[in-house]
Structure 1
Amino acid sequence: MINNKEKIIEYFKSGIKEDKDFRIGIEHEKFLFNTKDNKRIDYLKVKEMFTALTEFGWNPVFEKENIIGLNKAGKNITLEPGNQIELSGDKLNHMHEACAESQDYLFELKQVTKKLDIKIVSAGFDPISKLEDIPDNPKQRYELMTKVMPLGGELSLDMMYRTCGTQLNIDYNSEEDFIKKFKLANSIVPISIALFANSSIVEKKNSNYLSYRSKVWQSTSRGGLPKLFFENLDFEKYAEFVMNFPILFIQHNDQYISGRKYTFKDFMDGKIEEIGNRLPTETDLTTHLSTIFTENRLKKYIELRSMDTCGWDCLCAGPAFNIGMLYGNLDEAYELVSSWETDKIINAYLEAPQKGFNTQLMGKDLLYWTSALLNISRKGLEKRDVISKKGNNETIFLNHLQNVVDNKTTNADHMISKFSKDENLEELYDK
């Protein structure tokens, strides 16, 4: 049972790994549309798609009688509220493996979507649909979340039904290592928003944002970038943050029960009558941690969550950028951000969705800081010196980002210029 703060601290400590055991986990979401009418696919179509994917060795995952996902050899395909699908990748050794995993998944997905007349959109925000036009699915937790989430953030339903992101999961070798990595990850959130901006079109119009997804997440219940995250946040402080954070839901006897009235500390103190005053298990703690929607968060590893989904040509770029810093060159990257002021980072975080690289931080624009961090990342990947069968090290995955910086043009800028010419929906779909 999780009945005191020390149990939560122990949970985080159990994630500590030796450097040689560090892994890379990538998660990325995609929108799926029917080719015939440019509408998001419904749950019936999802079931067809999941059935077709079983031919590639994927195994169905059920909730009661409903198929809600697939798994295969350490990988999972999960279903998001508006029938976006997410690949949660295996824990892999280096970027060459991680990128190969994504390419294999792409191959399988393309075979199936072509057969079922489905098109893929790799963007941070649905560029076509209105919220009311998006079909839901029978995944139980989403019914409860759809009712509760808007009470704490006005764009929460947009987050659930109309956003897609790329997430990177990384390890730590000590509490001190976690403190450094977490502070760095939070400090560079404005840069991540600007560099990976890919959600400029909303309801077939220029949204006047480069990352509308990030704007939405800033107005989402349980989200944001807390000031606390810029302190030297150790396991104890994070445990206290978690304990005092409201519960979204509790899974009890195969039902999802709203936890809105309670914090996790109430749960630990046996104060929740609706579940017979039982105490939380480690599974309950894991669920609670995964419903804290901050830009970065801690489980038994660190999750970085500030990147818009992007096309297959740049899918590996975001993870490689972060791995170069966090695994390959942590001290230099940390030193660069350590003098940044918290208020100025948070201000840049709030402005970056709209201003992108033109956002100011500590007297420089984000393009300047992006270029500096890209160089630090490149050095880190060179230091890691992981060579592929073709003889390339992991810096090859930074080429896309170097082009973005050199041309001062993000994926969002490209989409604005391409789509604005004739507003051809074909421009929005993956080729």
Structure 2
Amino acid sequence: MRRGMGTADGWGGDRLVVRASNQTTERILTKDDLLGYMQSGCKPRSRWRIGTEHEKLGFNTADNRRINYEQISNVLRSLERRFGWQPIMEGDNIIGVKLDGQSVTLEPGGQFELSGAPLETLHQTCGEVNSHLYQVKAIAEEMGISFLGIGFDPTWEQEDVPMMPKGRYKLMKSYMPTVGGLGLDMMFRSCTIQVNLDFESEKDMVEKFRIGLCLQPIATALFANSPFKERKPNGYLSWRSKIWTDTDAARCGNLPFVFDEGFGFERYVEHALDVPMYFVYRNGTYVDCLGMSFRDFMEGKLPSLPGVYPTMDDFESHLSTLFPEVRLKKFLEMRGADGGPWKMICALPALWVGLLYDEEAQRQAADLVADWSRDDRDYLLEEVAKTGLRTPFRGRTVLDLSRDVVEIAKGGLLRRGFDEASFLGELENVLDSGVCAADTLLHKYNTVWNQSVDPVYAEYQY
């Protein structure tokens, strides 16, 4: 699923680790420990970093079918041999590689994900993306495979997608249909770009969290790139965004309590304790804890692990199974964008860094959304997936609002002083034309592609 930066340690700060055996811990965790873990994410501005993640669909160039685990493992082993990456193993299976704070890992359907290192500037971030895509492309071409930059598989049904051999995915596959109608689409066929950002204090975290939740639909509209499903238009510009509204209400959505007076780290910890669990990882095995309570786990009362208490690693893992539009760990994850071409991968961190890493830009963004209601936020989340930049909003359109947002971000980047504003260029092109990637795909589908989605594989591969 959508994990943070590969390993949370890369963001600095000390982790409390309580060592676990099969039945006991050295010390039982308290809620204060969990709160302290969240608070340890606060960093001075000089230590703020940028983490970018992106997923892509691997396919065979001969027939456009999704690549299988054997092919993916060959790519991972080639990254290891040729470029010095270190393997990440689960049992006998290689499930990823890591190098210098980066990791390459697998989503349930083999979506290939780069979780980038925490970096200081957007130039470093885009350089990291370019290096990764160069390495993967060099390996993939020799294997007769390639990777597609899009938000949702345009062709294959779920049963055509091979499941990766990771224990957590088997559990989640059985659980998803019990809590929502589109969770399996999320697992096996969707792709996203994500940016992870730091905060200075609890107050700063709260303001960034609120801005992020309000403006996530703006990112969805600008990056919308998933209009096809099983070879036909699906009625949405961002089917990936729609998927999250029917995946699991207990762990997804806009989190209205973030806007309550007094919201802070403690309230988010309370929320996390109430979200049903998926699993506990013990001795190389994922233990089925589907629907169970982390509160019970804190008291040693899990039915599947009686007398066993959680470690901080368990809490970290549990946090990674929460999927709101903005997710809090020891940093904030902005999760509203569809996967796309490499220039859009660089544009997403540019948008959010511009908005949230400059004091004046953050103030302007907070003022922009200050009087938005819960109905406003919920409306945008639902409607933007369908109508994107054309969505009406408070007497204007989301296109108008997006122009304001990108202008604020541009000012923020200019004031940062790293010559980063050019990374907003792709978004400025979208705003100038009023046309997002999904609009372009649909136009091509209905004209030069003669209502076929097959050309997308040639035209939109990395």
Whether these two folds match at TM > 0.5 is yes
CA distance in 1, matches of 2:154, 2:112: 16
Deviation at 1:243, TM superposition (A): 1.3
Paired position in structure 1 for 2:22: none
The answer to whether residue 167 in structure 2 is matched with residue 140 in structure 1 is yes
The answer to whether residue 320 in structure 2 is matched with residue 320 in structure 1 is no
Deviation at 1:4, TM superposition (A): 2.8
Map 1:11-410; keep pairs closer than 5 Å.
11-54=37-80, 55-221=82-248, 222-232=251-261, 233-328=263-358, 329-386=361-418, 393-410=419-436
Equivalent pair of 2:245/2:252 in contact (CA under 8 Å): yes
Equivalent pair of 2:108/2:163 in contact (CA under 8 Å): yes
Q: 2:36 aligns with which of 10, 25, 29?
A: 10
The secondary structure found in structure 1 opposite 2:42 is coil
Equivalent pair of 1:418/1:427 in contact (CA under 8 Å): no
CA distance in 1, matches of 2:77, 2:66: 18
Instruction: Structure 2 unaligned segments of length 5 or more: list them.
Output: 1-26
**Residues 182-228 of structure 1, C-alpha deviations (whole Å, 9 max, x = no match):** 00000112211111101012112111210000011111123222222
CA distance in 2, matches of 1:223, 1:299: 15
**Residues 362-381 of structure 1, C-alpha deviations (whole Å, 9 max, x = no match):** 33211111110111000000
CA distance in 2, matches of 1:128, 1:256: 32
Equivalent pair of 2:58/2:66 in contact (CA under 8 Å): yes
Paired position in structure 1 for 2:9: none
CA distance in 2, matches of 1:223, 1:213: 13
Query: Are residues 80 and 2 of structure 1, via their aligned partners in 2, closer, same or farther at CA, if it must alter by over 3 Å?
Result: farther
- Output the amino acid matched with 2:410: R
Deviation at 1:268, TM superposition (A): 0.9
- Output the amino acid matched with 2:61: T
Deviation at 1:2, TM superposition (A): 6.0
Equivalent pair of 1:345/1:361 in contact (CA under 8 Å): no
Equivalent pair of 2:154/2:453 in contact (CA under 8 Å): no
Runs of 4+ in 1 over 6 A off after TM superposition: none
Query: Are residues 2 and 346 of structure 1, via their aligned partners in 2, closer, same or farther at CA, if it must alter by over 3 Å?
Result: farther
The secondary structure found in structure 2 opposite 1:167 is strand
**Residues 358-404 of structure 1, C-alpha deviations (whole Å, 9 max, x = no match):** 22333321111111011100000011011xxxxxx110000110110
**Residues 105-126 of structure 1, C-alpha deviations (whole Å, 9 max, x = no match):** 1111110111111121111101
Paired position in structure 2 for 1:390: none
**Residues 263-320 of structure 1, C-alpha deviations (whole Å, 9 max, x = no match):** 2111112211421322111100000000001111111111111110110122111110
CA distance in 2, matches of 1:177, 1:89: 24
The secondary structure found in structure 1 opposite 2:367 is helix
CA distance in 2, matches of 1:41, 1:378: 39
Equivalent pair of 1:170/1:303 in contact (CA under 8 Å): yes
Query: Are residues 3 and 362 of structure 1, via their aligned partners in 2, closer, same or farther at CA, if it must alter by over 3 Å?
Result: farther
CA distance in 2, matches of 1:310, 1:226: 26
CA distance in 2, matches of 1:146, 1:225: 24
Deviation at 1:424, TM superposition (A): 5.4
Task: Output the TM-score relative to the length of structure 2.
Answer: 0.90
Equivalent pair of 1:149/1:156 in contact (CA under 8 Å): yes
Equivalent pair of 1:81/1:161 in contact (CA under 8 Å): yes
Query: Are residues 316 and 2 of structure 1, via their aligned partners in 2, closer, same or farther at CA, if it must alter by over 3 Å?
Result: farther
Equivalent pair of 2:223/2:344 in contact (CA under 8 Å): no
Equivalent pair of 2:254/2:377 in contact (CA under 8 Å): no
Deviation at 1:30, TM superposition (A): 0.5
Equivalent pair of 1:26/1:168 in contact (CA under 8 Å): yes
Between the aligned residues of both structures, percent identity stands at 39
Equivalent pair of 1:192/1:306 in contact (CA under 8 Å): yes
- Tell me the C-alpha RMSD between the 2 structures: 1.3
Deviation at 1:355, TM superposition (A): 1.1
Query: Are residues 424 and 188 of structure 1, via their aligned partners in 2, closer, same or farther at CA, if it must alter by over 3 Å?
Result: closer
CA distance in 1, matches of 2:78, 2:308: 42
Equivalent pair of 1:150/1:157 in contact (CA under 8 Å): yes
Report the number of matched residues. 425
CA distance in 2, matches of 1:246, 1:273: 13
